[in-house]
Structure 1
């Protein structure tokens, strides 16, 4: 189910109303059933995959806590193998087969068969969330959850099930056990977050997607403006698409009194790639920091090797394609170079432009379906021809891009919800109505405008 669908417009108020009407002891049941329904709107049978990993991790957590010595590590390994195994089969099997077949074809050997599998929606997200639970239990940072229903809800909780934020058990599970009475201010703040997230998704991201998708679908030698504008617009599109989802997830949960971690902190106002990654997709960045980077040795041993490995794995996490791996390698290399040359200490306009230019260029690999397309996009940027009447510069595109820049610049200097709450009522309501009108008249609905990160 999509947050930007009419179905969700019915689903959300019904579930939220029942949540506050029902006695507290039944609320976890409601949220669990609602979350299963939410997920099964995609491919119903895939709920069995989640049930399988939930049962493995639930019992693994208990066994880890009850065991000593090597047994604890063995149960943790069982949990990780089960989770990574499911991810490997559905997301990476055909990638490895494709690369093996390339080698086999070069030496004249017969090809291996591909599996016709549809990737379960949001598999990488709930896999990492499930892994953080058993790792935290193993490290002694969280006691094993004895209530299977609460643990299942931790994995399946519908606001952040398919695209994060990737939560730690100590931040979420205890909130399911607390009785949350209806809080008017939290409800209003949650709805504001949902509205702004919807605005970023349907008004900005989806309008830009129509042009970016058109360009990448027919990349060919042409005016340099085509490539340059498509690069720039995709950087805005992916941010508004993903942060829009995160805002709606946080807002949806906040209405019920359950707080989720902030996933974005205005990354495009960074002055280095290092700072950018402290503000972009925080739940994933901190996941890799805590569970992979520090495990490899962190800053104490082979620092640069560890940074590079983390970003290579991060790229591969995003997709089973060499384009994602190269994207990760670029960011890892840039972080290492910044540390060597102390670039991260610089501020000012030059540092701001340098950061955004490199982020935008790297996103070409992220967006391209293959390496050939990526290199063709870069080749087009050096074309001697410029077309300033390009359809990518339509009034609507320029309008929504301008709205994005103004909104983000203003909000980056103030706390969004706190600022709105202090404004005079006429000003505050003018902003609300403007937001609603923009969604109605400028938003793009229908046509399967799925969130980009659902594929991960």
Structure 2
């Protein structure tokens, strides 16, 4: 059963969460019960005709847990960069194999192909890197397992951080705080219904097939291609944001303050502002664990003198990896480079604007213009991301 896809899932969710809600209202967290419920919902997700995914996730978890605790044990006495890099490579290897699987004849034999592997892998890499940094010195096996398999977010995020999650998991919130969390959680779930089952349905099921058909019939660049760009962008946002709201809302009901994933991204004033609003947990994960570390490495080794050049190399690397993570197709890679160059141009403009602050007007009109321009830059990137241009021009 796909998470958050049908009324039956939400009915099971309500029944399963009720004892947790009662316990938290009285300041108690029933960890054993939460473990049982997590197991039940994981069976719902990976059981039945998806039993192979269930087997895959068990094998994957065994490998990753051995890796995490082996590296933790090693790090207590040693700190070799080579061992650290090896641990990170081993952590992401299953995900890399899954991404490469479609290109080989043995794709039906994928060992680690299961729903949510990317998000669990990001969590594993985060733990390994923070062990290396010394910010994580001790790990609780049950806590790590619960963190990796936290069922509300397993399929589509958001991506939480281990230390933040454990603080919530280890201590039940006070009643007053939990009532606020419960209220927000219920609100987010109902907002998710609006996004996913009304607006995403309108754009994705009702409108998108029609505009795509008309765009293909028209051929080339046409008003229908433009319409497809807008409709796809809206469908992508409301569908993904809806799922994220369900995950965050369910987490809040369980007394876990999972971070939000979206913050009104279509009113961003520039592309950097957009990435601080869109899929925020992924954006911040890539920023903290790839971009910042790469820039620090270049600074430490004095590979590049110019800070601007260093930042630009970081952007290109970051978004290339992000594009490849989505899939090994030309349009995902172009999508990544498109955003890298957009941010490089944005950075250059912000530097120029700061230098010529008095000469460049700043008012309501320029603010609206910036929002509209950013919106169209983003929508065009989603058109690339959709793969529709590949279908329209190359097939």
CA contact (8 A) 1:204 1:237 kept: yes
Matched, 1:137 2:147: no
> In structure 2, how many angstroms separate the alpha carbons of the residues matched to 1:89 and 1:28?
32
Secondary structure at the counterpart of residue 310 of structure 1? helix
CA contact (8 A) 2:196 2:243 kept: yes
Q: How does 1:138-287 map to 2 (within 5 A)?
A: 138-145=132-139, 147-180=140-173, 183-210=178-205, 211-216=207-212, 220-222=216-218, 224-287=222-285
- Do the aligned partners of residues 274 and 3 (structure 1) sit closer, same or farther apart at CA in structure 2, a change above 3 Å counting? same
1:351 corresponds, among 358, 362, 370, to 370
Name the structure 2 match of 1:90: 98
Name the structure 2 match of 1:4: 5
- Do the aligned partners of residues 66 and 352 (structure 1) sit closer, same or farther apart at CA in structure 2, a change above 3 Å counting? same
2:56 corresponds, among 42, 46, 55, to 46
CA contact (8 A) 1:35 1:156 kept: no
> In structure 2, how many angstroms separate the alpha carbons of the residues matched to 1:351 and 1:326?
24
| Consecutive unaligned residues in structure 2, runs of 5 or more | 297-306, 354-361
Name the structure 2 match of 1:30: 36
CA contact (8 A) 1:63 1:75 kept: no
Shift of 1:276: 0.8
- Do the aligned partners of residues 337 and 24 (structure 1) sit closer, same or farther apart at CA in structure 2, a change above 3 Å counting? same
Name the structure 2 match of 1:62: 72
CA contact (8 A) 1:76 1:138 kept: yes
CA contact (8 A) 1:28 1:149 kept: no
CA contact (8 A) 1:275 1:344 kept: no
> In structure 2, how many angstroms separate the alpha carbons of the residues matched to 1:23 and 1:237?
37
The aligned length equals 357
Shift of 1:120: 1.7
- Do the aligned partners of residues 61 and 37 (structure 1) sit closer, same or farther apart at CA in structure 2, a change above 3 Å counting? farther
CA contact (8 A) 2:211 2:227 kept: no
2:340 corresponds, among 332, 339, 342, to 332
Q: CA offsets, 1:350-383, max 9 Å, x none?
A: 21121111111111121116x5326479xxxxxx
> In structure 2, how many angstroms separate the alpha carbons of the residues matched to 1:244 and 1:166?
15
Secondary structure at the counterpart of residue 302 of structure 1? helix
- Do the aligned partners of residues 90 and 126 (structure 1) sit closer, same or farther apart at CA in structure 2, a change above 3 Å counting? same
> In structure 2, how many angstroms separate the alpha carbons of the residues matched to 1:149 and 1:313?
31
Shift of 1:75: 4.8
TM-score w.r.t. the length of structure 1 is 0.72
> In structure 1, how many angstroms separate the alpha carbons of the residues matched to 2:71 and 2:392?
43
CA contact (8 A) 1:212 1:233 kept: yes
Shift of 1:54: 3.8
CA contact (8 A) 1:154 1:169 kept: yes
Shift of 1:249: 0.8
CA contact (8 A) 2:212 2:225 kept: no
Name the structure 2 match of 1:310: 318
Shift of 1:236: 0.9
Secondary structure at the counterpart of residue 348 of structure 1? helix
CA contact (8 A) 1:315 1:326 kept: yes
| Consecutive unaligned residues in structure 1, runs of 5 or more | 98-112, 378-456
- Do the aligned partners of residues 126 and 188 (structure 1) sit closer, same or farther apart at CA in structure 2, a change above 3 Å counting? same
Shift of 1:220: 2.2
Deviates more, 1:21-30 or 1:308-317: 21-30
> In structure 2, how many angstroms separate the alpha carbons of the residues matched to 1:87 and 1:292?
16
Name the structure 2 match of 1:121: 115
Shift of 1:24: 3.2
Name the structure 2 match of 1:342: 350
TM-score w.r.t. the length of structure 2 is 0.82
CA contact (8 A) 1:270 1:352 kept: yes
CA contact (8 A) 1:268 1:276 kept: yes
> In structure 1, how many angstroms separate the alpha carbons of the residues matched to 2:375 and 2:67?
40
